[in-house]
């Protein structure tokens, strides 16, 4: 059994039945679970989910009210294991952003990489695999790769 961190973009796509990646996201997580893998979240994923879930549809959000988003987060918390933040994540993040010359929005991805590193997780399920190539200790796989068998996990 492996522990696999689920990126916000996969979680969000699985909440949007009309999205082109909806079924792929749902199916990839189902496949990973059926193979005995544990799907993990960290608080940052929940913060980012809330941000997009409560953003208006016109601004590329889900258009949920805070009450609706709270219900969604409660459901998500039942479906995934949550690894809490710890003090060591900041120092790991700080080392990563400096050593990899991270700029701008990529600092958010570096924080996920730091959480993966501190919690000894090897895999990240994301649609943005290219954003994580710089982190040698992490294997980023897309839901499409999971379903096609391109990544044997």
The reported pLDDT for the residue numbered 35 is 93
Q: Do 27 and 61 meet the contact criterion of CB atoms below 8 Å apart?
A: no
What percent of the chain is predicted at pLDDT more than 70? 99
Q: CA angle, corner 150, sides to 147 and 151, nearest 5? A: 90
In a domain, 88, yes or no: yes
In a domain, 153, yes or no: no
Taking residue 66's Cβ as centre, other Cβ atoms within 10 Å add up to 9
Name the one residue in this structure whose structure tokens are 């994580």: 132
- Model confidence at 88, pLDDT cuts 50, 70, 90, reads confident
In a domain, 99, yes or no: yes
How far apart (Å, rounded) are the C-alpha atoms in residues 135 and 142?
A: 16
Q: Spell out the residues 6+ positions from residue 130 whose beta carbon is closer than 8 angstroms to its own.
A: none
User: Is pLDDT above 90 for 53?
Assistant: yes
Strand partners, 118: none
Strand order in the sheet with 38-41: 81-82, 38-41, 3-6, 123-125, 139-141
- Model confidence at 104, pLDDT cuts 50, 70, 90, reads confident
pTM above 0.85, yes or no: yes
User: Is pLDDT above 70 for 41?
Assistant: yes
Number of domains composing the chain: 1
| Higher pLDDT pick, 90 / 23 | 23
How far apart (Å, rounded) are the C-alpha atoms in residues 20 and 22?
A: 6
User: Domain range spanning residue 41?
Assistant: 3-148
CATH code of 19's domain? 3.40.50.1010
The reported pLDDT for the residue numbered 13 is 95
In a domain, 9, yes or no: yes
The reported pLDDT for the residue numbered 152 is 67
In a domain, 27, yes or no: yes
Helix 106-118 / helix 87-99 crossing angle, nearest 10 deg: 130
């Amino acid at each position: 059994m492996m522990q696999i961190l689920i990126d916000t973009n996969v979680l969000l796509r699985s909440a949007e039945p009309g999205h082109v990646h909806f079924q792929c996201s749902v199916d990839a997580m189902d496949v990973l679970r059926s193979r005995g893998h544990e799907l993990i979240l960290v608080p940052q994923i929940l913060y980012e989910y809330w941000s997009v879930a409560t953003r208006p549809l016109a601004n590329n959000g889900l258009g949920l009210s805070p009450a609706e988003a709270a219900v969604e987060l409660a459901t998500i918390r039942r479906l995934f294991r949550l690894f809490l933040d710890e003090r060591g994540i900041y120092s790991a993040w700080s080392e990563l952003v400096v050593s990899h010359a991270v700029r701008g929005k990529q600092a958010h991805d570096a924080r996920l990489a730091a959480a993966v590193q501190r919690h000894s997780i090897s895999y990240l399920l994301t649609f943005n695999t290219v954003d994580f190539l710089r982190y040698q200790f992490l294997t980023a796989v897309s839901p499409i790769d999971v379903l096609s068998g391109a990544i044997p996990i």
